[in-house]
């Protein structure tokens, strides 16, 4: 069947259309993205502004039309941190539903971590042993670990690259203070994450990690999904020092960085370096599958088998 998954993230709206069937990998057929920057449309009271709602509604209407044009039999829509944190989330979702007839579900942070873990486990398989997965989003950092398909521990912490950029760097607070804050927050969950032992295979997903790996010399996306890509901790300290002294135009010209995310790369790099240090990881392998694929896999797993 042809399915769509509509991901309303803190930075981007992304409709991924796949050809999928139970027992096989979802094969990408089309994609429709828009840089919504919803997290930047939260006012001082943590309400999504009227402009932010209007941008979101317009995008979802267009995404639904795109899914129908591409022949999707169903579309699963979900929202993550920006909508989850908004005090007017119900009003936002109601506006979307009334304009598009699309019912967007808000994913709890732990579900976000769990579904990302599922996607990574399916991609790498059982040979990864005790798997550790990190995902830096716009509003939160997801952590999950375990030896099975479902993680023993799944955590979501408020260390997204967009959130930290907005609350710390854009506010003029020193980088060293941000570094200390990130490490303090991460340390609160480090014990639970590592209680069952070290990771046999440490993996990262998300655009932020992919961009950092690319800046560190990983293969570009046009070389395909099956090329091994890693982010090395030893590359992050000099990279952070370099990024701190570049303007946004210069950062946007670096390999793997898009213009709409350039402003978040310093904060993202600080989070990545802190996590790798606290969890004693010399490198992270980049997985091409992440939350959207996890949502799709969960939907496929729920389909009835041929024998009923």
pLDDT given for residue 304 in this prediction? 76
Ranges of each domain in the chain: 2-106, 109-292
What is the pLDDT at residue 22? 82
Helices 207-215 and 265-278, packing angle to 10 deg: 90
* Residue-level pLDDT at 306: 61
> Is 2-106's fold the same as 109-292's?
yes
Beta strands in the chain (DSSP E): 2-8, 13-19, 27-34, 74-79, 104-106, 131-136, 141-146, 153-157, 201-205, 230-232, 283-286
How confident is the model at residue 307, as a pLDDT? Answer: 53
Q: Which fold has domain 2-106?
A: Nucleotidyltransferase; domain 5 (3.30.420)
CATH of the domain spanning 109-292, picked from 3.30.420.150, 3.40.630.30, 3.30.830.10, 3.30.930.10? 3.30.420.150
pLDDT average per 10 residues of sequence, the chain (308 residues):
95 95 89 93 94 97 98 96 95 98 97 98 97 96 97 97 94 95 96 94 96 96 95 96 94 94 96 97 97 94 71
3-state secondary structure (DSSP) of residue 61? helix
pTM for the model:
0.95
The pLDDT of residue 252 is 96
155 DSSP 8-state letter: E
């Amino acid at each position: 069947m042809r399915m769509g998954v509509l991901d309303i993230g803190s930075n981007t709206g992304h409709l991924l259309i796949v050809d999928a069937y139970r027992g096989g990998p979802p094969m990408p057929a089309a994609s429709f993205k828009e840089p919504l920057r919803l997290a930047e449309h939260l006012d001082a009271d943590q309400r999504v502004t009227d402009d932010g709602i209007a941008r979101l509604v317009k995008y979802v209407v267009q995404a639904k039309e795109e899914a129908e044009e591409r022949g999707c039999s169903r579309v699963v829509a979900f929202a993550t941190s920006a909508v989850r944190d908004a005090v007017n989330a119900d009003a936002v979702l109601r506006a979307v539903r009334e304009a598009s007839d699309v019912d967007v579900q808000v994913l709890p942070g732990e579900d976000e971590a769990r579904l990302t873990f599922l996607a990574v486990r399916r991609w790498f398989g059982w040979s990864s042993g005790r798997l550790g997965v990190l995902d830096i989003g716009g509003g939160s950092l997801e952590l999950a670990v375990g030896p099975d398909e479902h993680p023993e521990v799944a955590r979501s912490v408020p260390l997204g690259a967009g959130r930290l950029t907005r609350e710390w760097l854009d506010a003029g607070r020193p980088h060293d203070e941000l570094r200390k804050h990130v490490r303090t927050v991460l340390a609160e969950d480090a014990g639970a994450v590592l209680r069952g032992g070290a990771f046999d295979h440490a993996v990262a997903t998300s655009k932020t990690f992919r961009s950092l790996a690319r800046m560190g010399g990983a293969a570009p996306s046009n070389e395909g999904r099956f090329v091994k890509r890693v982010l090395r901790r030893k590359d992050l300290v000099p990279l952070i020092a370099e990024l701190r002294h570049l303007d946004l135009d210069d950062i946007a010209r670096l390999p793997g960085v898009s213009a709409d995310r350039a402003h978040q790369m310093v904060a993202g790099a600080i989070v990545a370096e802190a996590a790798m240090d606290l969890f004693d990881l010399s490198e992270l392998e980049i997985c091409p599958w992440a939350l959207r694929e996890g949502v799709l896999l969960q939907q496929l797993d729920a389909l009835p088998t041929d024998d009923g």
